[in-house]
Amino acid sequence: MSNLEQTLSIIKPDAVERNLGEEIKKIFLNNNLKILQSKKIQITKDEAAEFYKVHQSKPFYNALCSYLSSGPIIVMILEGKNAVLLNRQIMGSTDPKLAEENTIRKKFGISIDKNSVHGSDSLENAQAEIKFFFKN
């Protein structure tokens, strides 16, 4: 009961471009996650840089920010029991080549950078990321 959580999910440009939005949403719904809010937006490179600032020292940071801002994305608030970890399990490993069977990244990911989805990695980051996209 007390572990009812909310987490942020993003369907990234490579998946939106291939019209995988509805299919990916169904996977969340079939795995006991509710979609509380969903919107299709495009963000600027500066916004992507702010969102991904934890990665600013990484060699792939610039490419990552260019990529996330390169086309429409679908941002969602997911809710469910242990939603943060559950979403990470449904997504699979960062590198689609290493992702487990039946995960979103295994099914749809193209490469480590075009890996179709983002999911918050902790409850604390989930709260910050939800605020970032859904300022109520």
Binding footprint of ligand IDP on the chain (CB under 6 A):
55, 60, 64, 94, 112-113, 115, 118, 121
What positions carry a catalytic annotation? Answer: 118
Residue 9, H or E segment: strand 4-11
Residue 3 has which token pair? Answer: 């572990």
Beta carbon nearer to ligand IDP, 25 or 118: 118
CB closer to ligand IDP, 2 vs 59: 59
Residue 63 CA to residue 104 CA, distance in Å, equals 22
Residue at token pair 């991904």:
52
CB nearer to Mg ion: give 26 or 66: 66
In the complex, what is the shortest distance from the CB of residue 21 to ligand IDP, in angstroms, rounded to a whole number?
18
Reported in sequence order, the residue ranges of 12-107 that DSSP labels E, i.e. its strands, are 34-41, 73-81
Closest by CA to 109, choosing from 29, 26, 38, 11, is 11
Candidates 3-11, 28-36, 40-48, 118-126: pick the segment binding Mg ion (CB under 5 A): 118-126
Binding site for Mg ion (CB under 5 A): 121
